[in-house]
Chain A
Amino acid sequence: GDSVTQMEGPVTLSEEAFLTINCTYTATGYPSLFWYVQYPGEGLQLLLKATKADDKGSNKGFEATYRKETTSFHLEKGSVQVSDSAVYFCALSKGGSNAGNMLTFGGGTRLMVKP
């Protein structure tokens, strides 16, 4: 079945450091790929998405590029802030079904940014 693997955390960085969180996937067909963020005590928010190979999703300074050849969707940010501290989830969905399309999530990566 489909699966998503992301690096285990926690990832601890100083403010303004460069961030990379690795994500790879296994799926048949052509899934859409997502990064969701969960701030402490809150629900999941969609951070960015990409729907086909070589697409780059971006939002709030975060970027991720859909790499079909390496089945990856790594999350990057050039300069993290304390307010970016959260748990980040990589996910995929097959789409194309009229019946609804479940998300398959990675295990989540906790990011802690220190001042």
Chain B
Amino acid sequence: DTAVSQTPKYLVTQMGNDKSIKCEQNLGHDTMYWYKQDSKKFLKIMFSYNNKELIINETVPNRFSPKSPDKAHLNLHINSLELGDSAVYFCASSRQGGTEQYFGPGTRLTVT
């Protein structure tokens, strides 16, 4: 049983395209997150959702739009992809108010 899963694992696309990454957690958590890891392994928060409501939006371009259809899912849609969007994107979840987060396996996005 995978606690936090992401699809796809790898995504290669061209500049200007629109793509989505999906995330699902079966831990019963209320809070979900998206993090971006750049080529130097630096990790930074992008978004946080609690009970389907956007809580944290850390100066991410509005080409990135998270969507949470229910508490168990948090998808990331990216419009007009740019070369600089190439990175590994990690989804995570936690209990409401909890500090311990559980991470998915990551999605490696390559924009050519």
Identify the A interface with B (CB < 8 A).
32, 34, 36, 38, 42-46, 49, 51, 87, 89, 93-105, 107-108, 110
- Interchain CB contact under 8 A, B100 and A100: no
Binds A, one of B14-22, B75-83, B102-110: B102-110
A45 to B96, CA, bound (A): 19
Interface size class of B (residues with CB under 8 A): 20 to 34
Identify the B interface with A (CB < 8 A).
4, 31, 33, 35, 40-45, 48-50, 55-56, 58, 90, 92, 94, 96-106
- Give the contacting residue for A102; candidates B33, B98, B106; CB below 8 A: B33
- Interchain CB contact under 8 A, B103 and A44: yes
- Give the contacting residue for B97; candidates A34, A44, A87, A96; CB below 8 A: A96
Q: Given that A43-B103, A43-B106, A103-B101 are contacting pairs, would A98 and B96 also be in contact in the complex, using a CB cutoff of 8 Å?
A: yes
A88 to B48, CA, bound (A): 23
Residue numbers in A under 8 Å from B99 (CB-CB): 32, 34, 49, 51, 93-95, 101
A103 to B35, CA, bound (A): 9
- Give the contacting residue for A87; candidates B41, B98, B101; CB below 8 A: B41
